[in-house]
Every structure is written in C-alpha cells, then in structure tokens.
Amino acid sequence: MLNTARYMTPQNASAALLMGGAMWGIYWVPIRWLGAQGLSATWAGIVLFAASLILLAPLCWRDRKTIALEWRRLLIGGAFTGAAFGLYTVSLFHTDVVRSILLFYLTPIWGTLLGLIFLGERLGLNRVIALALGVLGLCVVLGDGLSLPWPKNLGDTLALLSGITWAFGTLGLYKAGQTGVTSQIMAFLGGAFAVTFFAALLMSDAIFTQADATWGIALLGSAPLLGLFTIPMTWLTVWPTTYLTPARVGLLLMSEVVVGLISAALFSGEPFGWREMIGAFCIVAAALSELSSTSTTPRPDARA
C-alpha cells in the first residue's frame, strides 16, 4: 500500500474514517448474501476474512521484517480488533441490522472511558455534547425512550461485546501508531479470522445451513470481490485509528449508522421512519460536533 504518512492530518484522518464508516454501513449486505448461499454465521465471516488475507499475502511477505519485529504488539491489537470484527459479523445473522449497528455504537462511551483512564484525556464541551447526542440518537432509534438500549437476544449481546472489544482494540492501535498500517490491517483481519474460526469450533457450528448445489460456484466467484471490498474498508478504518484517540474514532465511525439505517430500510425491509430519521440526525450531529473539536491531540508518529 502507498505510504500515506505525509497526508496524516486530523482533518484527513477524520474524513477517511467517515468514509470507512460509510462502507461499514453496507457491510451487512455481503454478509447476509453469504448466508443466503447457505453459509452459517461464523463460516460466512471466515470465508470473508480468508479471502481478504489471501489477497494481502504479497504485502504480508513484503512487510515480513516489520511483522517479525512487532509481532507481539500486532498480536494483541489483532486479538481485540479482530474479535470486534468477528463478533459484529456474527451478530448480523442473529438480530436486526439496525440493532446490531447501534448497539455496536455504544463504543464511544467505552472509548471515552478508556481515554480518561489510559490517555489522560479531559471531557471538553464538544465531547460531552457529542456523547449526549450519540446516546440520544441510539435511544430514539431503538425505541427505548431515554433509557440506554440493552441487548434482547444473542445478536444484540454479540453486537454490544463487539463495541467494547473494538474500544480496547482502537486504544491498542492508537498506542502502537508507529507500527506500519499495512501490518496492522493484516493483524486486524488475521485476528478476526482466528477468533471467528475458534468460535466456530467452540460452538460446533455447521458450515452450511442448507444444501444448495450452486453455492460452491457462487462462493468461489464472489470471495475475491468480497475481499476487495473488505480491504479498503479496513484500511480506511485502521489508518485513522492509529492517529486518532479511541473516543474520537468511535464517534466519527457513526457515519456507519446513517448508511446502515438507510441501506437496511432499502434492501432488508427493516423500518426507516421518523424515529430512525431523528435518531440518525442526532448521531450525525454527534459526529460533526466531535469533528469540530480541537481538544483531541493526535499522534504525530503514525505511518502507513
């Protein structure tokens, strides 16, 4: 991948993260499509992660010296971010797309707490406003009044856990900003593959949920395309994450919420009425409030 360190500014990193979040908003589409081909929840994720890693293999070989030197740091970061990726992927099979996305996006709360504890951050006015708007938007969309949304099924629980592990993972990426971004993307996808594969074995999850004579051809033909979608989406997420603090990352990634709500309404038959529109407005306002904040001190040493 190109060396983009010279483009690393708070504005560019924030814009990239907003684009990455928008791509995450339609991530459920290929995942649900794999499920329609007969793959179970965990194995759909495994196929997607494996295809991405195969496409990244040449870059992995190119960066083998960096990986050998930084393998401990990459292993820890990959375990947390990969677990978040894997848990979120599986959650999309067990709950509504809207609930999965929004329960994940309690992550700014966890990111703020981690920033206060480990990074010595302070709660500025913009951050308080952003958090309040974000939580309000989540509550409005989930229809729980002004109370915090709470898991109601397995998918909800997995989505909530994915947000918590993502907050820890972004803290690790931020603190390891000097490690090459390409290597961190490989760790991210490798961790997702390993965690999801282990979950499949632990749950004795069958590979296929239904017999379909055409699944093999469709799967082989689509896997590289799915990987080509996943890799830039991941890069637009990991690159800014090595530079921006966990709380800011969680808030800016809320662009996924808007795209996810709209795409779910258009393609999955899930509702998108006034409640969803008001909630999405609050969440976008939260991201804009955070984007205008000058209280976040980014890393100067991150590199691609």
Give whichever of 103-107, 120-124, 225-229 has the largest mean pLDDT: 225-229
Distance CA(267)–CA(30), nearest Å, equals 12
- Whether 298 has a pLDDT exceeding 70, the answer reads no
- How far is the C-alpha of 243 from the C-alpha of 181, rounded, in Å? 10
Q: What one-character-per-residue DSSP string does 201-251 give?
A: HHTT--SBSS--TTHHHHHHHHHHHHHHHHHHHHHHHHHHHTTS-HHHHHH
pLDDT (tens digit per residue) in 9-30: 778 888 888 899 899 999 988 8
| The pLDDT of residue 53 is above 60 | yes
272 burial type by CB count under 10 A (0-12 exposed, 13-18 middle, 19+ buried): middle
Res. 125: pLDDT tops 70: yes
User: How do residues 150-203 score in pLDDT, each as one tens digit?
Assistant: 777 888 889 989 989 988 887 877 776 556 777 888 888 888 898 888 888 877
pTM for this model (two decimals) = 0.80
| CA-based nearest residue to 199, from 100, 85, 105, 97 | 85
Q: What is the pLDDT of residue 233?
A: 92
* Tokens found for residue 123: 């709660």
Could you report the per-residue pLDDT of 61-98, keeping only the tens digit for each? 887 887 777 777 777 777 888 889 889 988 988 888 88
